[in-house]
A and B are shown apart, each in its own frame.
Chain A
Amino acid sequence: MTVRHVALVGGVTTPFGVRPTTWAEMAQEAGAALFRSMPDLRADDVDSLFVGAAEPERFAFQSHVAPLAAEQMGLKPRRILQRTELACASGQSAIRSAYAAIAAGLSDVAVAVGVEKMNLPSMAEANASMGCVMDRPWDGPHGATAPPFFAMVAQRHMLEHGTTPEQLAAVSEKNHRFANANPHAQFYAKTFSKDKLMRLPIVAPPLRLGDCSSMTDGAAAVVLVAEELARKYTDAPAWIRGTGQYSDFHNLAHAGSLTEWPGLTIASREALGRAGCSLKDLDFAEIHDCFTISEIVEYEALGLCPPGEGGRFALDGRGDIGGDIVINPRGGLLGCGHPLGATGIAQAVEVFEQFGRKAPPARQVPDPEWALVHNLSGSANVHSVMIYQTGGAS
């Protein structure tokens, strides 16, 4: 079978935050914004729709969301319509599925949309929904949610490698600084110094409020097309060059050392190998900073620094503009918020905007050619990676 090249030719993000809107209304917002941003895209062009949504049954009491989203967006998919659920990576999962469908010739123009409504009248109910991402009957009754799990990762990383609260705060300060220049971010136009971050309340020791991404409402959408259609929609396509994924456990009993994430190493090598590029070629990366410690372990698992040196990598600004590689110029999950199904799509929108030199100066990566996008899901038990390249020819 001939594999076709696939281009990302447009994308939008709704405002992220505590929104006075429903799940369906945000799907409408994303669809309307997408078509407004792409005058050459007609609804009839779109043959397939992939909907990233982690827990609409829980957060919006709504199942069968793929046709709901299609109707909200004004689409009538005639080839593939499906929802993708992979918890925190549901959005990237939608893009990977659309990519696979187009590469295989089953679709020519596909939309991947991600929507999540997480702020409910009862946050205890919302927290319970987050808890059922874990192995619910075995880990859930103990109170397993994301913050205590990633707190244990931070505790072990501090014990084994001497990582400090200031190093954690350096990650949060950087990503909030970028979000400060991102109008769609939950923490847009808000400043957080390291000192301020290190004085915020403890959520799950040793993690403080500023070490954790938020419960966020939001949506995002991108358009993927077969190579021969790319120029119809944009002069600056983002080409999907490779993808990789790895999962090796679910119950927390099998989380291993906590401080090593071999699944990310494997998934990123797969993706880079398929793209035919190396880590050194990357100009920026959108990686899954659901917690500050996540970004630090990801530096190490990606190979940006040796194991144990992720904290120093952060504090030395090697993931900042002017450093080795720009990490999370969008503002990350820490600064933008983390609407589960929308996050992976919003990261891809950032790649498109960075390649098109459309990011505000405060967070525009200089002359980017290669970008990596990573999402973990659950207790870092799944890692999903995509590689994008800018450029003219397919």
Chain B
Amino acid sequence: MSATARPRRSPVPSEPATPAPSREERPAPAAATSEAAPSQRPAAPPRPPRPFLLDFFPLEGSDQTRLSRFFERLREGRLSTTRCPRDGELHWPPRVACPTCHTEELSWVDLPEHGRIYAFSAVLGGAPLGLEADVPFAVGLVDLDGVPLRLFGRIDGKPWTELRIGGAVRVEPYDVGDGRMFYRFRTVE
């Protein structure tokens, strides 16, 4: 199930009643942004096809989600989200409607590439289908630098036994293995 292999309509739905978040706005205030060159991304191991209802990774094509822009920007090395231009609220995850003022005219903003670990643990067993081969792996909550967002994510790099609260990590977009993109964190020396 690959976004690039799927039939694509226009990246922005044309229905005026339900516009997708479309306004570009970058960089985000107080957010240091940088772009990872595609060559820096880890090679994606091939991913066997999986029934959709047993696959954790989201369908990212514009024929499936109004948030396909998120994945397009991820492919460019940018972790981004939506922000409400009216009340300035930064969302996570990205949204199609502001939960506060209910406008659907949202802006895309890049998020900081760096953050620090607030809490972490590791999956040493009992992993969900599709992630068993990754065991053991670390996960954690990461405070992104300069924005009020604490994101949950996989933490690669150092083994979990060497992680520490407050440790520095950076955002790492990666190819899921079937053409789709997702993100995780990687420890910074």
Contact with B along A14-41 (1 / 0, CB 8 A): 0000000000000000000000000000
Q: How far is the CA of A258 from the CA of B120 in the complex (A)?
A: 12
Check if A143 sits within 8 Å of B58, measured CB to CB.
no
- Given contacts A137-B58, A142-B154, A152-B141, whether A253 and B129 have CB atoms under 8 Å apart is no
Check if A204 sits within 8 Å of B122, measured CB to CB.
yes
Check if B127 sits within 8 Å of A143, measured CB to CB.
yes
Check if B123 sits within 8 Å of A143, measured CB to CB.
yes
- Other-chain residue from A135, A136, A258 in contact with B119 (beta carbon distance below 8 A): A258
Check if B120 sits within 8 Å of A142, measured CB to CB.
no
Q: How far is the CA of A8 from the CA of B152 in the complex (A)?
A: 41
Check if B141 sits within 8 Å of A252, measured CB to CB.
yes
Check if B122 sits within 8 Å of A128, measured CB to CB.
no
Decide yes or no whether B44 CB sits under 8 A from chain A: no
Check if B56 sits within 8 Å of A131, measured CB to CB.
yes
Check if A128 sits within 8 Å of B129, measured CB to CB.
yes
Most chain A CB atoms below 10 A, which of B140, B150, B152: B152
User: CB within 8 Å of B: which of A125-170?
Assistant: 125, 127-128, 130-132, 135-145, 147-149, 151-153, 155-156, 159
Decide yes or no whether A304 CB sits under 8 A from chain B: no
Check if B121 sits within 8 Å of A155, measured CB to CB.
yes
User: CB within 8 Å of A: which of B106-130?
Assistant: 118-130
Check if B54 sits within 8 Å of A125, measured CB to CB.
yes
- Write the nearest CB–CB distance from B2 to chain A, whole angstroms: 15
Check if A204 sits within 8 Å of B56, measured CB to CB.
no
Q: How far is the CA of A254 from the CA of B124 in the complex (A)?
A: 25
Check if A144 sits within 8 Å of B121, measured CB to CB.
no
Q: How far is the CA of A156 from the CA of B127 in the complex (A)?
A: 23
- Given contacts A152-B120, A152-B140, A156-B119, whether A145 and B128 have CB atoms under 8 Å apart is yes
Q: How far is the CA of A54 from the CA of B104 in the complex (A)?
A: 32
Residue of A nearest to B137 (CB): A143
Most chain A CB atoms below 10 A, which of B58, B137, B153: B153
- Given contacts A137-B58, A155-B121, A204-B122, whether A143 and B134 have CB atoms under 8 Å apart is yes
- Given contacts A155-B121, A253-B149, whether A144 and B93 have CB atoms under 8 Å apart is no
Check if A144 sits within 8 Å of B139, measured CB to CB.
yes
Total interface residues on B, using CB and 8 Å?
37
Residue of A nearest to B152 (CB): A252
Check if A135 sits within 8 Å of B93, measured CB to CB.
yes
Q: Which residues of B have CB within 8 Å of A131? A: 56, 128
- Other-chain residue from B139, B141, B151 in contact with A143 (beta carbon distance below 8 A): B139
Q: How far is the CA of A202 from the CA of B154 in the complex (A)?
A: 19
Check if B120 sits within 8 Å of A155, measured CB to CB.
yes
- Other-chain residue from B120, B122, B128 in contact with A127 (beta carbon distance below 8 A): B128
Check if A143 sits within 8 Å of B129, measured CB to CB.
no
Q: How far is the CA of A143 from the CA of B121 in the complex (A)?
A: 11
Q: How far is the CA of A138 from the CA of B92 in the complex (A)?
A: 9
- Given contacts A145-B128, A159-B165, whether A253 and B56 have CB atoms under 8 Å apart is no
Check if B149 sits within 8 Å of A124, measured CB to CB.
no
Check if A143 sits within 8 Å of B128, measured CB to CB.
yes
Q: How far is the CA of A128 from the CA of B51 in the complex (A)?
A: 12
Check if B129 sits within 8 Å of A205, measured CB to CB.
no
- Write the nearest CB–CB distance from B184 to chain A, whole angstroms: 7
Decide yes or no whether B131 CB sits under 8 A from chain A: yes
Question: Residues of B at under 8 Å CB distance from A?
Answer: 54, 56-58, 92-93, 118-132, 134, 137, 139-141, 149-154, 160, 165, 176, 182, 184
Residue contacts A-B, CB under 8 angstroms, 10 given: A127-B126, A128-B56, A140-B56, A141-B182, A142-B139, A144-B139, A147-B123, A155-B120, A206-B121, A251-B152
